[in-house]
Chains A and B, each alone.
Chain A
Amino acid sequence: MNMLLLIEQILNGLQFGVMLFLMAAGLTLIFGVMGLINLAHGSLYMIGAFAAAAVAGWTGNFLLALIASMAAAAMIGALIELSVIRRLYDRDHLEQVLATFAMILIFSEGTRWVFGSFPLFLNIPDYLKGTVTLPGGIEYSLYRLTIIGIGLAVAVGLFLLISKTRVGMRIRAGENDREMIGALGVDISVLYTLVFALGAALAGLSGALVGAIQSVEVGMGEPVLILAFVVIVIGGIGSIKGALAGAVLVGLTDTLGRTMLPVVFGSFMDPSSATTVGSALASMLIYILMAGVLIFKPTGLFGGS
Chain B
Amino acid sequence: MNSIFIKQTIKTIGAASALALGLTAPVLADGHGGKVKIGLITTLTGGGAGLGVDIRDGFLLGIKQAGNEGIDVIVEDDQRKPDIAVQVADKMIQSEKVDIMTGLVFSNLALAVAPATTAQGKFYISPNAGPAQLAGRGCHENYFNVAWQNDGPHEAAGATANKMGMKKAFIFAPNYPAGKDALTGFKRMFEGEIETELFTKLGQTDYAAEIAQMRASDADGIFFFAPGGMGISFLKQYADSGIDLPLVGPAFSFDQTILPAVGDAAEGVLNTAQWAPDLDNDASRAFVETFKAEYGRIPSIYAQQGFDTASLIASAAAKADVKDTDAFRAALREADFVSTRGKFSFGNNQHPIQDFWVRKVVKDGDIFTNTAVEVAIADRQDVYAADCPLKW
Interface residues of A (CB under 8 A from B): 1-2, 4-5, 8-9, 12-13, 15-16, 31, 37, 39, 42, 93-94, 97, 101, 104-105, 108-109, 112, 117-121, 123-124, 129-131, 139, 141, 143-144, 210, 212-220, 222-223, 225-226, 229, 233, 237-238, 255, 258-259, 262, 271-272, 275-276, 279-280, 282-283, 294, 298-300, 303-305
Contact = CB atoms under 8 A, between A and B. Distances in A.
Query: Which of A93, A210, A303 neighbours the largest number of chain B CB atoms within 10 Å of its CB?
Result: A93
A78 B301 CA distance: 42
Given A121-B261, A220-B47, A298 B1 contact: no
Contacts, number: 195
B209 A258 contact: yes
Contact of B17 (A215, A229, A262): A229
Interface in B197-222: 197-201, 203, 205-206, 208-210, 212-213, 215-216
Contact of B261 (A118, A275, A300): A118
Contacts of B53: 117-118
A303 B2 CA distance: 10
B49 A12 contact: no
Nearest to A120: B261
B25 A105 contact: yes
Contact of B200 (A112, A144, A216, A279): A279
Nearest to A305: B3
A259 B205 CA distance: 15
A2 to B, nearest CB: 7
Given A294-B10, A299-B3, A222 B21 contact: yes
Contacts of A1: 216
A255 B208 CA distance: 8
A93 B209 CA distance: 37
Say what secondary structure dominates the interface of chain B. Answer: helix
Given A124-B240, A214-B237, A222-B20, 16 more contacts: A8-B215, A9-B212, A16-B206, A39-B19, A93-B9, A118-B258, A118-B260, A119-B257, A141-B242, A215-B230, A219-B45, A220-B47, A229-B17, A275-B197, A279-B175, A303-B6
26 contacts: A8-B215, A12-B208, A16-B208, A39-B20, A97-B16, A97-B19, A104-B23, A117-B44, A117-B53, A118-B50, A118-B258, A121-B260, A141-B208, A141-B242, A214-B206, A214-B232, A215-B228, A217-B232, A219-B23, A219-B46, A233-B10, A259-B209, A276-B199, A279-B201, A298-B6, A299-B3
Interface in B320-355: none
A304 B209 contact: no
A119 B227 CA distance: 13
B391 interface: no
Contacts of A144: 208
A279 B25 contact: no
B11 to A, nearest CB: 9
Contact of A283 (B49, B175, B205): B175
Contacts of A279: 175, 198-201
A117 B240 contact: no
Interface string B351-375: 0000000000000000000000000
Interface residues of B, number: 59
B208 A108 contact: no
Given A97-B15, A124-B240, A217 B47 contact: yes
B25 A109 contact: yes
Nearest to A139: B242
Contacts of B8: 93
B232 A42 contact: no
B229 A298 contact: no
A215 B233 contact: yes
B67 interface: no
A255 B1 contact: no
B50 A117 contact: yes
Interface string B223-260: 00000111011001100111000000000000001101
B236 A226 contact: no
Contacts of B26: 105, 109
Contact of A229 (B16, B208, B233): B16
Contact of A222 (B12, B23, B44, B49): B23
B24 interface: yes
B197 A272 contact: yes
B240 A143 contact: yes
A213 B20 contact: no
A212 B242 CA distance: 16
Given A214-B205, A271-B197, A108 B20 contact: no
A93 B12 contact: yes
Nearest to A258: B209
Contacts of B7: 298
A3 to B, nearest CB: 11
B13 interface: yes
Given A139-B215, A215-B229, A262-B198, A255 B241 contact: no
Contacts of A217: 47, 50, 229, 232, 261
